[in-house]
Amino acid sequence: MTIDDFVSGFTEEPGYFNFASVGPLGRAAIEEEQAQVELLRRSRFGSLASLEDQDRRVREAVGQLIGFSSDQVVFQPNTSSGLMHAMFGITGGVLLSPAEFPSLPFAAVRAADSLSVLAPHWLDTAGGPVTPGVIRDRLTPGIVAVAVSLVDFRTGYLADIEGIRQVIGDRLLIVDAMQGFSVVDAPYEVADVIASGGQKWARAGWGTGFLALSERALDRLTPVFSGFSATDSPDLPLDGVLPPAGGAGAYSVSNPSPIDQARFAAALEEIGAVGVPAIRARLAEKVSRVIDLADEYAVPVASSRAENERAGIVVLEPAADQLTMLTASLFNHGISVTVRGGTVRLSPHVSTDEDSFDALRGAFTSYASAITV
């Protein structure tokens, strides 16, 4: 599959620059869900067996994208569930920034408050990104794990997880991959815990996600929330509670939705067919166009311009008294963005078309006219 073939499967309306919030579904995901729903609707004798195969299918699709084996992957309904499993399973100190997306700090604090075996160590970055150097300076013997976002949701900064691995040594490296999974060709093999959802850049909709665990993580984590679906028994475990499964499957609570799994798998299989490097290269072009347009109209860009420090997010930070004018201009031209904390976050995808960029130019033109009046 070529990148153009891949792009042709998406038909969102022009002006959508908010993939870091949620990605409109593509044809593959929609058609897969419709097929599985129809199968369930009719429930012809013997036909539902294919639903039972979706768990294996989605774990294999995830594994192929991150370089993990399928038995190191367990389906999750979202990123937060996966991170909760990981944090509640840790004994010792965890170093992380309080400025991470709430999924990470909430999981760490909830685990600490509930079990008293995890101790959060808060990383002060002085307003900057989480880098190997900042982490190295804060490591202590009591820290057994370091948690970081692959891409920061506020700034769009792409973390150097390879460099982080080098400075933390044998400690567990926990990665919230939500803002980079499927668009960043990351060295996932250096991580021990990877959690992500499928509703943003993978464009598979809500209710989809995964948790992947290295052999080191499987050896050190405790599967605190491990339900009846999380054993090695091929049969329903009746009349007794069996021990958790030996692999990542131990981190399951109940049977997931096979329809959600199928939708996620279909989206990931297409991503695998075209290749993440091709997607990343095309997305880099779109991001550069957004930055170039912002520069043309003197809209301050606060996020990194270097390709090795960015993924799909561009952050604009106008003067405080100009923020309302900018957001109004974007709204009036039908541009979907996220406005938070005095900044405007734009996040295109490979399918962001010329009509979208024309609308963005129109919004910037209106903004520039308003502030010069």
**Residue-wise pLDDT tens digits, 26-72:** 999 999 999 999 999 988 887 788 898 999 999 999 999 999 999 99
pLDDT value for 185: 95
pLDDT value for 160: 97
pLDDT value for 347: 98
Q: Is residue 150 within 8 Å of 159, Cβ to Cβ?
A: yes
Q: Residue ranges of the domains in the chain?
A: 3-24+276-372, 27-274
What fold, for 3-24+276-372? Aspartate Aminotransferase, domain 1 (3.90.1150)
Supply the CATH classification number for the domain 27-274.
3.40.640.10
Strand partners of residue 176: 149, 195
Q: What are phi and psi of 95, to 5 degrees?
A: -95, 125
> DSSP characters for 185-219?
---GGG-SEEEEESSSTT---TT-EEEEE-HHHHH
Tokens of 360: 């963005």
Burial (0-12, 13-18, 19+ Cβ within 10 Å), 127: exposed
Largest CA distance in the chain: 77
pLDDT value for 373: 54
pLDDT value for 370: 85
- CA–CA distance, 258 with 260 (Å, rounded to integer): 5
Which residues of the chain, if any, have pLDDT below 50?
none
Q: Is residue 200 within 8 Å of 19, Cβ to Cβ?
A: yes
pLDDT value for 234: 85
**CA nearest neighbour of 212 among 33, 66, 2:** 66
**For residue range 122-152, what is the model confidence (pLDDT) as tens digits?**
999 988 999 999 999 999 999 999 999 999 9
**For residue range 249-276, what is the model confidence (pLDDT) as tens digits?**
999 999 999 999 999 999 999 999 999 9
Beta strands in the chain (DSSP E): 73-75, 92-96, 118-122, 143-149, 172-176, 193-197, 209-213, 314-316, 338-340, 343-346
> DSSP characters for 129-150?
---HHHHHTT--TTEEEEEEES
